Amino acid sequence: MTGEDLKAVKALKEISEDSSLSKREKHLVGLAVTLTLGCTVCSTRRFTEALEDDISKKELIDLSDFVAITSAGVISRTALSSWDDNNDEICTDGTCSVS
């Protein structure tokens, strides 16, 4: 199976083509998503395509730093919230447990 076999991929391409976002904006958003997901292959492709479309290396480094800082902030906030006594009653049915 390839990505072309999936209806979702076809729908994403159609939506992307009709989007009012600029090509530059699509590059930056797409790269932010692939970095967050941790996909090296996708991120490498997106870095390469962005450079080819005249997005500077500095802008890509700044974006990478921003994504890293944002992700760290989300992780920190989640960890701090997890210590809050009010969260004890949120997951009482075991669905949040690994074991």
Who contacts 57 (Cβ-Cβ below 8 Å, separation ≥6)? 51
Its pTM stands at: 0.67
The answer to whether residue 71 scores a pLDDT higher than 80 is: yes
> For residue 19, what is the enclosing H or E element?
none
Q: How far apart are CA 15 and CA 27, in angstroms?
A: 15
Who contacts 68 (Cβ-Cβ below 8 Å, separation ≥6)? 35
For residue 87, the 8-state DSSP code is G
The answer to whether residue 66 scores a pLDDT higher than 60 is: yes
When pLDDT is cut at 50, 70 and 90, the band that residue 10 belongs to is confident
CATH number (1.20.1290.10, 1.10.3720.10, 3.40.50.2300, 2.60.40.3080) of 22-82 reads 1.20.1290.10
